[in-house]
Every structure is written in C-alpha cells, then in structure tokens.
Amino acid sequence: MSFMFVSILLTVIVGLAIAAQTQFAGVLGQHVGIIESVFIIHLGGLVVAGIYLLFMGGGNLGAWRAAPWYTLAGGLLGVVIVGGYAFVIPRIGLAPAITLAVTSQLIFSAVLSHFGVLGAIQQPLGLSRIVGIGVLLVGTWLIVR
C-alpha cells in the first residue's frame, strides 16, 4: 500500500472517530453533566495512552520539555472541544455541530498556514483557497440552516 493511501485511510478513520466521540460526549453529557463527561472521556484516553506508554517503556515522554510552551495548552483545548461538543450536540444536533466546528477549523487552519504561525507550514492564502473558504461557508449554511 502506498503512503498516500494509508494516510487517506487513517484520516477517514480519524473523521469517523471524531463523529462517534462527539456524539458520545453529547449523550454522556446529558446523563452525567458536561464537565463530568469531559472528565470521563479524558480519563479513558489517559488510561489507553498510559497503557501504551507503559508497554513502550515511556516512549519519548521525557522530551516534552523541548516542545514549544504553547503546545502544552493542547489538554486545555481538549477540554474546550469535548465540553463544547457535549453542550451543543444535544441542542443543535451532531451534523450541524461538526459542520460548524470543521468549517471554523479549516478556515483557522488556512489563516495559520498563511502566516506560518504556531509551527504551521507557510502556505499562502491564494485565490483558490479563498474561493474554497467561500464554498465551505455556503455548504455550512446549507447544512446548518
């Protein structure tokens, strides 16, 4: 299998996992509360990652000090993401919630890439990307309305 095929397949699996996890967060949040849902979901991730690292002898965990300081906010952002989904999914539905999140993610990613900030590879925001953002906005409106 080619590297590109494996990358595309893995990305599709990640997309499916995101849709399932966000739905789980919404349902779990209705039963136990939003912060409780965030805690349970992150605890599950901690256990799975911890077991993996245990078998890998800690992996490269000690190198965290060499990472840029702002990357340590990933955990905080994870709480915002899961908590946000847990709050909005029962109110607006799974498809509108993910559509709005992915659209904003893609637009913000294009801006970060344009300026090459936060470690992003610099890729200019040319006409085709601007048109793509316009198409995204129209598609988002069609799904969310």
Query: What are the pLDDT tens digits along the chain (145 aa)?
Result: 799 999 999 999 999 999 999 999 999 999 999 999 999 999 999 999 999 999 999 999 999 999 999 999 999 999 999 999 999 999 999 999 999 999 999 999 999 999 999 989 999 999 999 999 999 999 999 999 9
Instruction: List the structure tokens of 33.
Output: 């509360």
Question: Would you say 106 and 123 are in contact if contact means Cβ atoms under 8 Å apart?
Answer: no
- How many Å apart are CA 32 and CA 38, to the nearest integer? 10
Burial of residue 48, with CB atoms counted within 10 A of its CB: 0-12 exposed, 13-18 middle, 19 or more buried: exposed
Backbone phi and psi for residue 122, each to the nearest 5 degrees, phi listed first: -75, 125
pLDDT in tens, 7-40: 999 999 999 999 999 999 999 999 999 999 999 9
Q: What is the largest CA-CA distance in the chain?
A: 50
